[in-house]
Amino acid sequence: MAISSNNPALSSWIPAPEGTDFPIQNLPFGVFSDAQNPRPRPASIIGNTVIDLCALEELGYFTNLLPAAAPVFSGSTLNPFLQLGKPLWRAVRQRLSDLFNADNDALKNNTAHCAKILFPLENCSLHLPVHIGDYTDFYSSREHATNVGIMFRGADNALMPNWLHLPVGYHGRSSSIVVSGTPIRRPKGQMQLQDGQPPVFGPSRLLDFELEMAFVTGQGKPLGTPINIEEADDFIFGLMLFNDWSARDIQKWEYQPLGPFLGKNFGSSVSPWIVTLDALEPFRTAAPVQEPAVLPYLQYSGNKALNINLSVFIQPEGGAATQICSSNTKYLYWTMEQQLAHHTVNGCNINAGDMLASGTISGPTPNSFGSMLELTWRGTKPLTLSDGAERKFIADGDTVIMKGYAQYPGNGLRIGFGEVSGKVLPAL
């Protein structure tokens, strides 16, 4: 089904720089505050102009569209909106597209309302847009899983026997997910520096990033009721850039037999804007062929991968940023729909605002690997930054920056995510 708000010919009366991540065809959702009003509230954005959804609702622009019983955009998160479901998500986005269309002067000419609704981005602070009740991290890139398997088990045993049959995942810590720009403290923990030797305790020496995408859910079904793969898209609100920070030395010592713990739960960073699945529909593409064939509950038809360009930069303190990685979500072996169907096939319930991350997104070439572990091959092949400094893993003072966008062919129009960044602080 064609979504009219995705029409690449649309333009807005809100000015937007050429090549912006946020044209009128995007209309992502987030939460902001401004200098005059420090209360966080839901928002969208076009170009460099933040749109106050709470003010739009109070001024009656969503009358007869949203439930009248209680305001949807009056709180500090998007969770009440996420509970409403895809038909209303789509209707609100369409309403925004109509209001800010270049051919619509109704709001444009109401200067009093515009003063209450529109805010320059440089005067705003962006916040974590949802209350994340639960967080699941998957392991959905075959290239990443193979690379890690070769490093730790050898080429003949790179993939575990179950990997090609189900999307492997684990439940992570939602309380330590932070919005872009929040510093990350180098974690401490136990590490075994040499095989056969007792562990030591101290700051991680092998701090890493993981290039991921995360999707945010709407309200799911009751406990005990699966979401089947044909309806999975109805429960996926949108996507965000996700950096799953990892302490490789802590992780290696602790992850058997139960999986990641202190090596992961000290922090994950997300971009502030949620780009809706609707806005990304034009960029659907074929996912990798799955062989052997998966079980029926994981089988799907059509194009379920997304063609989103991803890049990672390291910026040392006081220095310039160097791009170290270029990847794409289309490389993911397991799709979002398969992840959600598998997650709930046993009756596990999901709630509005839950976050499910893809796992590291690595491509087929060395420059497309999505972690320092792979890019430097366990530190044996250091990277050189633009200032000549070498990196095997992430140093104190480094800022890791991830960016992502999908692009319409021919006209340069982007549907982007902005960026997710985090600076590493020394361990306490």
Residue 119 · residue 45 · CB < 8 Å: no
Q: Which of 144, 165, 171, 343 is catalytic?
A: 144
Distance CA 136, CA 56 (A): 33
Residue 217 · residue 352 · CB < 8 Å: yes
292 DSSP assignment: S
CB atoms within 10 A of CB 178: 18
Q: For 47-134, where are the E strands, in sequence order? A: 49-52, 118-120, 124-127
C-alpha 122: how far from chain center: 22
Residue 50 · residue 37 · CB < 8 Å: no
Residue 46 · residue 23 · CB < 8 Å: yes
CB neighbours of 107 closer than 8 A, spacing ≥ 6?
61, 99, 100, 113, 114, 117
Output helix, strand, coil percentages for the chain, rounded to the nearest 5: 25, 30, 50
Residue 177 · residue 235 · CB < 8 Å: no
Active site residue 131: no
Phi, psi of 31 (to 5 degrees): -135, 135
Closest to 65 (Cα-Cα) out of 37, 91, 97: 91
Catalytic residues: 144
